Amino acid sequence: MNEPLRSAFAEPEPPRRSRRIAPATIMLGSLVTLLPVVSTVPWLPPLGLMLLVGWRLVRPDVLRVWAGAPLGLFDDLVSGQPLGSAMLLWGVSLIVLDMLDMRLVWRDFWQDWLLASGTIAFCLIGGRLIASPLGAHVDTALALQILLASALYPLVSRLCFALDTKGRP
């Protein structure tokens, strides 16, 4: 078969290992919700979403823009959220992050942290609006979850970077 011509200026494809490990770690992060943690307040951050945003900001070429839909479906099936909510919110988040990535020429860590915090807050607030009635008093717990997820983002980005560079020459 004929392969498409590649120009000299084309970006190189990411290694196959990175293409496999990114969705696997995101799915493992979504499986964390199955751990038997007993709590009266939902303070656990959405680790699957945080890993999705971490991989997208650390290595934009590893995940395609459409990857939010199947990974969101897996998260919906595992976490018990209404089916399609994470598919929609994760897909929209990846599209917005891709558009912002094209607009911003250079990014530093603080901008990545701000983008990740905004994306996580958008998904958590959107999930709250989809899953629970407006009269429910869950805003304090939601704010706590957003703050904790935003504070833990540097660790998640370090984890994504460490997993990406492990085994490379």
pLDDT tens digits along 117-168: 999 999 999 999 998 888 888 888 899 999 999 999 999 999 999 998 876 6
54-75 burial, b at 16+ Cβ within 10 Å, e below that, comes to: bbbbbbbebbeeebbbebbbbb
Q: Which of 43, 57, 50, 60 is nearest to 29 (CA)?
A: 50
**What is the band of 169 on the pLDDT scale with cuts at 50, 70, 90?**
low
Q: Is the pTM of this model over 0.85?
A: yes
Least confidently predicted of 9-18, 107-116, 146-155:
9-18
Q: What is the DSSP letter of 9?
A: T
